[in-house]
Every structure is written in C-alpha cells, then in structure tokens.
Amino acid sequence: MPLTSSPRYGVLAVLATLAAFASGNVVARDLTVVGFGGALQEAFRTAYFTPYAKAKGSKLVEDSYEGGIAKQKAMVESGNVTWDLVQMDENEMTAACEQGLLERIDKAQFTNAKDVDASAFAKCGVGAFIWSEVLTYDTTKFGTNGPKNWAEFWDTKKWPGKRGLRKQPRMTLEIALLADGVPVSDIYKVLASKKGQDRAFAKLDKLKDSIVWWETGAQPLEWLNSGAVSVTAAYSGRIAVAAKQGKNFPIVWTNQLYSMDYWTVIKGTPNKAQALDLLNFSLAADNQAAFAQAIPYGTLNKRAIPMIPKATQALLPTTPEHLKSAVLLDTGFWLDHETELLQRFTNWVGK
C-alpha cells in the first residue's frame, strides 16, 4: 500500500520510526548498570555510579540479578537490549563472549588503562575487582578459637552447628578437596579425574547432614547472625562490611578461593559509548581506592593502593600474606567441566 494512502496515525508512526533510525538511536534511554546487589552494589554506587552521574550531569538506572547469561541472551537475540553495563563472573563472561552476547573490549579505549594490570582486560570484559571466598564463624559460640582451615570446618564435634556452603559445585568441590588434604597446587589436577571427583563428593558426604546451602552473598552472614549456622563460607568483603556494622565475624584467610569479576557491555546496546566511559571512570586510581574503602576487595589500578588506609589494605584478599595459601579459581577447568559436575552436584544435593 502506498505510504500516502495509509491512515494518518500509521503515517506518523512510520515517519517517527524512520527518524529514529536516521538518528541512530531507536529508543533513547538512560544508561543501565547491573550488578549482584547488596553491599557490593552499594560500594559500586558510592565509588562509581553516583560520582559519575554527578560529574557527567547524567542519570544512571540500576538493576541487579543473581548471575547467569539467560537474560543477556534473550535481550541480544530479540534485539531489545535494556541492560548496558553488567557485572559478570569470569566463567559466565567467557561463555557469553563465545556466544556473541557481549561487545569486544579494546584496552586502548581507556585512558586509565596504563595503571591497570593487563590481566584486567579480557576479550569481552574489564576487571571490576578481585573477590575472595573465605571461612568465618560465630564468635559468640567459639570466641576467637573457631575453625582455622577447611579441614576444621568439617569438625562438627569440636565446633558444633550447621555449616554454610554455596549451592554450586564451583568452589564447593575445591573446598572439599582442601579439607581432605589435597595441596593447593594439585587441586585441579585431582578434580579433573573421576577418582578425584569421587573423593570430593565422598568428603561432602561426611558433612552433608550439617550443610545449609546459600545462594546469595548476603545469606551466609544473615544465617550466622541468626544462629542458623555456626560456621560458613562467605565473601571476605561482605564480612568486612558486617564488621563495620558491629558484627564480630573473623576472616580466616587460609586457603581462600579467589577470582576476578568483570564489567561487560551487552552486544547491541545503544549506550555503548557511555558504558565505556563509565568503565574508564571506574578504572581511575582514586575511584578504585574509594571502592576498596566501601568494600575491601582487590583493586586493579596499582596507583590506588597507596590511597587506601592501611587498616583497609589489611582486609584485601590480594595482599601477599593472604595469597600465600590461596586457590585461584581455574576458569578453563570449569568451562570444560561445569556442565557434568553441576548435574552430578544437583543430583547429589537432591538425594
């Protein structure tokens, strides 16, 4: 049908659509940033989101999620991208990148990159921070003499009460092998074999009746505070934030498990330039220092360290002392084995 013979409002709609395409921006909207919520997102807001919006005179919209790539995939495949800058763990970032769901990242795009460790730049992501999962316990029950390593985590006779572990095989199987005496250097070599996997699940069998499974970073400390668990695995930064709020949950650094989370830009976002600008802003030394003071996780800009108070530096998972016995999560291993181990883990939990 010729355009001139269409109903009046149909003509206006077509003209509006053509004008939008001509301007290169089909739907104008504010930059949307997405994290994992809780104390971590509050730290992002304090160090990055609010200062950036103020400096640029722009508005940011925040959202949160619990991980995964399903939403990103749906957005990209439908062409309806409503998220722009999204926090992701390394495994999920790598998988999303391979599926074409994320924009490629070029280190040269960032003026603050010169002071940032090269490991912070991936094909489809920019390092957000280095996090750590550690052991902590209820000092009202055990004083300062609670479990000091993962082997003692299993000792429910000496330290009675429920145990909190994250409901996923990644990190949980490593903890089980550490508790069973496997050296840090051999963790993934052992876990790659059927015999080693059986060993990890056999160790978990011994604790199964005492385990309470958590799924969000806030849960283990809430349960520790309520008495639902007496010893738990938890994220070190959240424990430090709880300490600021008057809780006395110690951080046991022995055999901490650590990795890097990344910022990613969703493929096809109309706000790509602004997302990259916010990324560059987040890499500045003073902003990284502000983040570490809001929640003490490892920073990526080397010039940020002297700006962080000594007391806060002592809480970073990246200090040489804390890294001595640490386990760096092996992303390659989990990309290769997570599907099979997740199925086995899910079946095991359900029995």
Q: Taking the domains of the chain in order of start, what are their residue ranges?
A: 8-130+260-314, 131-259+324-350
Cβ neighbours for 192, distance < 8 A, ≥ 6 positions apart: 333, 337
Domains 8-130+260-314 and 131-259+324-350 share a fold: yes
Which neighbouring-strand residues pair with 212?
A: 164
Phi, psi of 192 (to 5 degrees): -75, -15
Phi, psi of 252 (to 5 degrees): -100, 110
Neighbours of 66 (CB within 10 A): 9
Residue indicated by tokens 């003073």: 286
Torsion of CA 71, 73, 79, 85, to 10 degrees: 60
In angstroms, rounded to a whole number, what is the distance separating the alpha carbons of residues 243 and 318? 19
Q: Which amino acid is present at 82?
A: T
Q: What is the pLDDT of residue 117?
A: 87
Give me the helices (H) in the chain, please.
Answer: 8-23, 38-44, 50-56, 70-78, 90-98, 139-142, 150-153, 169-179, 187-191, 194-205, 219-226, 236-244, 272-282, 285-294, 310-313, 320-323, 331-350
Q: Which CATH number fits domain 131-259+324-350: 1.10.486.10, 3.40.190.10, 3.40.50.1580, 3.40.109.10?
A: 3.40.190.10
Instruction: Specify burial of residue 261 (Cβ count, 10 A radius: 0-12, 13-18, 19+).
Output: buried
Can you read off the two tokens belonging to residue 174?
Answer: 């490593």
In angstroms, rounded to a whole number, what is the distance separating the alpha carbons of residues 133 and 259? 9
46, 294 Cβ separation under 8 angstroms: yes
Cβ neighbours for 208, distance < 8 A, ≥ 6 positions apart: none
In angstroms, rounded to a whole number, what is the distance separating the alpha carbons of residues 271 and 275? 6
Q: Which CATH number fits domain 8-130+260-314: 3.40.50.10240, 2.80.10.50, 3.40.190.10, 3.90.1150.10?
A: 3.40.190.10
Residue indicated by tokens 């998988």: 95
Can you read off the two tokens belonging to residue 200?
Answer: 């990890």
In angstroms, rounded to a whole number, what is the distance separating the alpha carbons of residues 297 and 290? 11
Give the N- to C-terminal CA distance of the chain in Å, as an integer. Answer: 63
Q: Which amino acid is present at 290?
A: A
Q: Which helix (H) or strand (E) holds 127?
A: strand 125-137
Can you read off the two tokens belonging to residue 70?
Answer: 């399903």
Q: Which amino acid is present at 183?
A: P
In angstroms, rounded to a whole number, what is the distance separating the alpha carbons of residues 300 and 283? 7
Q: What is the pLDDT of residue 8?
A: 35
pLDDT in tens, the chain (351 residues): 333 333 333 333 333 333 333 334 445 789 999 999 999 999 999 999 999 999 999 999 999 999 999 999 999 999 999 999 999 999 999 999 999 999 999 999 999 999 998 999 999 999 999 999 999 999 999 999 999 999 999 999 999 999 999 999 999 999 999 999 999 999 999 999 999 999 999 999 999 999 999 999 999 999 999 999 999 999 999 999 999 999 999 999 999 999 999 999 999 999 999 999 999 999 999 999 999 999 999 999 999 999 999 999 999 999 999 999 999 999 999 999 999 999 999 999 999
